[in-house]
Structure formats: structure tokens, C-alpha cells
Amino acid sequence: MSLERAAVLALPKVDLHCHLDGAVRPGTLLEIAQAAGIPLPADTVEELLPHVRVSPDCRTLRDFLLTFETFYPVLNAPGSLERAGYELLEDAAADGVVHLEARFCPALQATDGHSAEDVLREALAGLASGGRDHGVSWGAILCLYRSEPPEVNAALTELALAYADRGVVGVDLAGPEDMPGEPFAEDFRRLREAGLPVTIHAGEACGPESIVEAMDGLVATRIGHAVALREDAALADRVRQAGLALECCLTSNLQTGAVSGLDAHPFDALHRAGHLVTLNTDDPAVSGITLTDEYLLAAATWGYDLEQLRAFALAALEAAFLDEAGRAALRARIEAGTV
């Protein structure tokens, strides 16, 4: 029996893997670009959409990343991530999301006269007011990038530590997975020791070895994507025994070609094997999806009922970078079923 969209929309949900820069409304991109005099390939939202949102049948990472190239210059406009952060939580509330962890790399939007710290402060301000106005619990995950120079990542590490009590709840490593994570091992150990938990993009574009590196070398407690676990049963077992949470992003994995189809996606097999799996959006504006869409997609693909979806939301809550008081309050909301 297929689930009613309204029931899944009303289910309180948790998004652990959502890129702020991949979640900006197309209309907002257009308005910021026009106000700042930044060129975009279209003057209306309708005409802009094909440039900033992939088509549902997108199946290559190249086509997926092409959209970012189009809109990324717009996000350099001061204040853009403040508005994006606010609207992200407004959209989350409308989608029944009660806790969202927004990740971004403020160094990517820094310009002369507008530092990474300025960008971070603006994003945190937008998230704080959006969360307050719309009743959504949130945390910021600061992304280091494999492709950024060491001094940039060292500065990001310091920023994460400085803002750990002001909204930054964890750190991530993103960027091309075929670039080694080893140069970051010391940074992540420092961050972990300072109380900031670590999630790492791994096993999306590269194989099981990237997951080994994330778990052993980079002290991750959560793995972003981890699709490559389907290739290595022994590693999957080790990841399960270590209690690592998996941030799965079904539509994104389809659109970037990480899996050839949902029948090839390991989500259900990992769930049945006892892994802590979670459903997330990744880049909702680029993919043209909501978290409700992802829950419905999982239910349509593997036959989950509403109570199983609620269990996935509760699993995500257990893996959230939250203090125990915040977790307990949200657990009651999810169990009660009230958004």
C-alpha cells in the first residue's frame, strides 16, 4: 500500500546531510544576483531553473556539478548565506523537518574584504533566526575541502573551534574523494578532541578504501553516502560494529551516477543488516527534492510503512550532533508525531 504524501509530510523528520549552498531557492539566487549585479544565464526563475536544478533524469556527476558552477558566484555576495540559512529552515519547517544540520564551507564564499569568518557569522545568523521563527532545531557543520590549500583548511579548523559554542556542531570533509584525506588527519583529531564530532564524505565517488580512511584515519562517527559499502561485506560489518551512522542520499546518488538505479542502492540491505541508516537531501535545490520526497521514494522502493519511516527519523536523531537535552525534546516530538 502506498503511503499518503500528507502523512509523510506530517511526520517529524531529521536531515543530517544538507549542503546550505545546494539548498538555495532559485528565486533567491536570481534576486541576489540582480541586486549585486552578478550575471546569471536567465532573468526569470522559470528560465533560470534548467541552469541551477538538474533534470530528474540527470545521471552524471559532471552534469550535477555544472549547476554549481552557474550559481556559485552569486553566493559570494555578502549576506547571501544569511538569507539562504533563514530560508532553508523556513523550507524545512514547511516540509515537516524538526532538526536540520546545514553544512557549508565559508572559505568558498570568502572574497577580498569579506572573510570566511564574515560568511560563517552571516550563515549562523540566518540559521539562528530561521530556526527561531520557524521552530526548527539546527546545527551548522563546517566543511573542510580536500581540494582547498592546507592553509585554508587550517584556518577553517580554527574557525570551527572558535564557533563550537555558537552554532557549529561538527565538521565534515568534502570535495573530490580521490584526493587523499591523510593531510587532514591531524586537524580532525584536534577537532574531535575539542568535542566537535566528525562526518566525512566517503564511498560516494570512490571505493571502500575511502570509508576505511574516514573511519580509521579521520575519526569519523558518521559517513556521508557510504554507497561503496555494498562492495565490501567485511568492511560493512566493521562499520556496523563500530556504530557509525550512514547519511544516505538516494536521489543525489542516482543523479550523480553513484548508483545505476535504486535497485543497486545498498540502503535497504544495510538497514536489514542492522546499520544505522538515515535518509537525507544532500542538495535539495539542485536535485529539486524535499526530505518528504526522499522518505516517499524509500517507501515506494522498499515498501516501508509509516512506522518504519518514523524509525528512520528516530535513528537520524540518535546520530544527530545534538546535546542530550535537545535530543530528548525532539525524540518526544517525533514519537508523538507532531511537527
Interacting residue ranges for Zn ion, rule: CB under 5 A: 282
Residue type for position 267: F
Cα 332 to Cα 98, 99, 295, 326, 337, distances in angstroms = 11, 13, 20, 10, 8
Strand, helix or coil at 178? coil
- φ and ψ at residue 225, rounded to 5 degrees: 85, -75
Interatomic CA distance for residues 267 and 230, integer angstroms: 9
CB of 103 to Zn ion, least distance (A): 7
In contact, 318 and 276? CB cutoff 8 Å: yes
Interatomic CA distance for residues 25 and 258, integer angstroms: 25
Identify which of residues 148 and 282 has a Cβ nearer to Zn ion in the complex.
Answer: 282
Q: In what order do the strands lie in the sheet with 276-279?
A: 13-19, 97-104, 137-145, 168-174, 198-202, 222-225, 245-248, 276-279
Cα R_g (the chain), whole angstroms: 19
* Angle value at C-alpha 320, between 286 and 64, nearest 5 degrees: 15
For Zn ion, the nearest residue by Cβ is 282
Identify which of residues 177 and 282 has a Cβ nearer to Zn ion in the complex.
Answer: 282
Strand, helix or coil at 274? coil
CB of 202 to Zn ion, least distance (A): 11
CB of 244 to Zn ion, least distance (A): 16
Residue 227: DSSP 8-state:
G
CB of 289 to Zn ion, least distance (A): 14
Specify the DSSP element, H or E, that contains 291.
helix 291-302
Q: Of the listed 101, 148, 177, 204, which one is catalytic?
A: 204
3-state helix, strand, coil in the chain (%, to 5): 55, 15, 30
Identify which of residues 87 and 282 has a Cβ nearer to Zn ion in the complex.
Answer: 282
Which are the contacts of 111, defined by CB distance < 8 A and separation ≥ 6?
Answer: 76
204 part of the active site: yes
Identify which of residues 284 and 310 has a Cβ nearer to Zn ion in the complex.
Answer: 284
CB of 52 to Zn ion, least distance (A): 17
CB of 105 to Zn ion, least distance (A): 11
Identify which of residues 91 and 177 has a Cβ nearer to Zn ion in the complex.
Answer: 177
Find cell 538569507 and name the residue: 83
Identify which of residues 167 and 203 has a Cβ nearer to Zn ion in the complex.
Answer: 203
Identify which of residues 239 and 334 has a Cβ nearer to Zn ion in the complex.
Answer: 239
CB of 68 to Zn ion, least distance (A): 12
* Angle value at C-alpha 147, between 117 and 201, nearest 5 degrees: 90
Annotated active-site positions, please? 204
